[in-house]
């Protein structure tokens, strides 16, 4: 068995198998091929849309024995390293397996800002991209956000970019099979119960998230959310880890939703100047500013980027169709913590649309903590988990169960009146009736616009 260092330092002509032909797998294949490796891209089924840079990359649509003739295997995040037939075979052959993120990190000397968290990471990395774009020549945004890290490394090397900066959004899946990955700055926004069907339990999930700081040293920076009790406990003894908070005074402090520098006492941004609403977005703003300040970016650049920042589609997205009723598309809210954050953004009159798909056990206490709020007027439950949700919620709130998503939206439109907030923040995955949360959010917007057309 060759060591990772042996492969990393002499990759030319090595036999590399990339498992999974999605965005990550295609990026890893292109990078490995560019570096001179013999690449096999192995997917377990036909894949129609492959963006490969060379016909030298061999492709198969079943995980064959060819995978076992490799010096290195790069695993895509969609494949569970703890529950896969081909992975078990590879492990028996003692072939090293690394993540696409790990592999890409071997071939760049550019600074890397890596952000993870159960919620908010897409918003934070896009804010950072806007802030840093005015201050760095080549800012490359990648990871769990539509462009793979390896594809960005390939682009950086092929174009001989100088003065580059990588900004990465990293999921817990991407942080499995990390060995030497060491970002210049790692940020952990929060860690709440999610993806337990893959990780097994919260501790496994938490530890996989913490792989982002696995190789931390004196030259690394860590930024973490002090308002998250698990993160606070974990980092409390690490004097080099930098906390941010919406309630405590650190390098930055919040007063009436205005963010100030503790050192200069100067106002950096008033949240009301931005298009980002809610307490969770206040936390995202503080995290983003803290990271920018560690890279010595001035307040004016930060302020301009934040004022002009457009919220992500399907994340607390305001649908402007009726001046008397506020419609919010938060289809990206696929766990209950995210839904709770969305609820905390409003003071009263909420009609909540909740439901979807889950492999995880739904507990009464989770739902009780979510809906035991005076601000909620009515909860419309739908989908695979909807009936069970509605039965629990009925103990605390007015609720109704509608199996079909479209029926739930029609009912919301029927009962909504002046000063209501119709909030789609489902709290669960979309896979019972949709391919993804984007499709679900688009259906919501389509129905709302059609109703008011």
First-to-last alpha carbon distance for the chain, in angstroms, is: 65
3-class state of residue 207 by DSSP:
helix
pLDDT in tens, 24-46: 999 999 999 999 999 999 998 88
Average pLDDT over every residue of 248-252: 97
The CATH homologous superfamily for domain 317-451 is Mur ligase, C-terminal domain (3.90.190.20)
Mean pLDDT of the chain: 94
What pLDDT digit, counting tens, does each position of 337-384 carry?
899 989 988 989 999 999 999 988 888 888 988 887 789 999 999 999
- Decide if pLDDT at 85 tops 80: yes
In this model, does residue 412 exceed pLDDT 60?
yes
Fold of 11-95: Rossmann fold (3.40.50)
Cα→Cα distances 78→126, 318, 331, 441, 442, Å: 23, 31, 21, 22, 24
pTM, entire model: 0.88
In this prediction, residues 318-347 reach a mean pLDDT of 92
The conformational region for residue 337 under phi > 0 = left, psi -120 to 50 = alpha, else beta, is: alpha
CATH code of the domain made up of 104-308: 3.40.1190.10
If DSSP codes are grouped into helix, strand and coil, which group holds residue 48?
coil
- The domains of the chain are located at 11-95, 104-308, 317-451
Q: Note the residue count of the chain.
A: 453
Query: Over pLDDT 90: what percentage of the chain?
Result: 84
Asked whether residue 166 carries a pLDDT value surpassing 90, the answer given is yes
Residue 124: the pLDDT is: 98
Alpha helix segments (H runs only) across 64-119? 85-92, 100-105
pLDDT in tens, 127-163: 999 999 988 989 999 999 989 999 999 999 999 998 8
- Rounded distance between C-alpha atoms, residue 102 and residue 99, angstroms: 5
Tell me whether strands 112-116 and 58-60 are parallel, antiparallel or unpaired: unpaired
Instruction: Give the model confidence (pLDDT) of 418-440 as tens digits.
Output: 999 999 999 999 999 999 999 99
CA distance linking residue 228 with residue 225, whole number of Å: 6
């Amino acid at each position: 068995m060759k060591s990772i260092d042996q492969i990393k330092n002499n990759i030319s002509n090595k036999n590399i198998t990339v498992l999974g032909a999605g965005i990550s797998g295609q990026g890893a294949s292109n990078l490995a091929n560019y570096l001179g490796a013999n690449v096999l891209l192995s997917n377990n089924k036909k894949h129609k849309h492959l963006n490969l840079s060379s016909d030298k990359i061999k492709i198969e649509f079943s995980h064959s024995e060819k995978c076992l003739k490799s010096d290195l295997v790069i695993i895509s995040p969609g494949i569970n390293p703890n529950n896969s037939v081909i992975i078990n075979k590879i492990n028996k052959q003692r072939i090293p397996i690394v993540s696409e993120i790990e592999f890409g990190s071997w071939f760049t000397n550019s600074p890397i800002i890596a952000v993870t968290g159960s919620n908010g990471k897409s918003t934070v990395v896009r804010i950072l991209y806007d802030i840093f774009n005015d201050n760095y020549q080549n800012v490359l945004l990648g990871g769990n956000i539509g462009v793979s890290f390896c594809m960005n490394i390939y682009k950086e090397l092929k174009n001989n970019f100088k003065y580059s900066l990588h900004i990465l959004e990293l999921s817990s899946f991407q942080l499995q099979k990390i060995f030497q990955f060491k970002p210049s700055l790692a940020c952990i926004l929060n860690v709440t119960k999610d993806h337990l069907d893959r990780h097994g339990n919260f501790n496994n999930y938490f530890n996989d998230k913490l792989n982002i700081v696995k190789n931390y040293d004196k030259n690394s920076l860590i930024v973490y959310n002090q308002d998250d009790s698990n993160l606070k406990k974990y980092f409390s003894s690490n004097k080099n880890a930098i906390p941010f908070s919406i309630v405590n005074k650190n390098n930055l402090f919040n007063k009436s939703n205005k963010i100030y520098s503790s050192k200069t006492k100067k106002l950096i941004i008033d949240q009301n100047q931005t298009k980002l609403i809610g307490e969770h977005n206040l936390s995202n703003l503080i995290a983003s500013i803290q990271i920018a300040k560690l890279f010595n970016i001035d307040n004016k650049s930060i302020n301009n980027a934040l004022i002009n920042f457009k919220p992500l589609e399907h994340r607390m997205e305001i649908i402007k169709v009726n001046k008397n009723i506020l419609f919010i598309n938060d289809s990206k809210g696929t766990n209950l913590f995210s839904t709770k954050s969305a609820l905390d953004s409003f003071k009263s009159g909420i009609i909540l649309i909740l439901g979807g798909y889950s492999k995880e056990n739904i507990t009464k206490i989770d739902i009780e903590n979510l809906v035991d709020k005076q601000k909620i007027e009515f909860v419309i439950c739908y989908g695979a988990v909807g009936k069970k949700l509605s039965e629990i919620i009925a103990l605390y709130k007015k609720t109704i169960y509608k199996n079909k998503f479209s029926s739930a939206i029609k009912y919301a439109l029927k009962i909504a009146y002046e000063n209501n907030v119709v909030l789609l923040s489902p709290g669960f995955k979309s896979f019972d009736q949709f391919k993804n949360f984007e499709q679900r959010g688009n259906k919501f917007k389509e129905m709302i616009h059609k109703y008011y057309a």
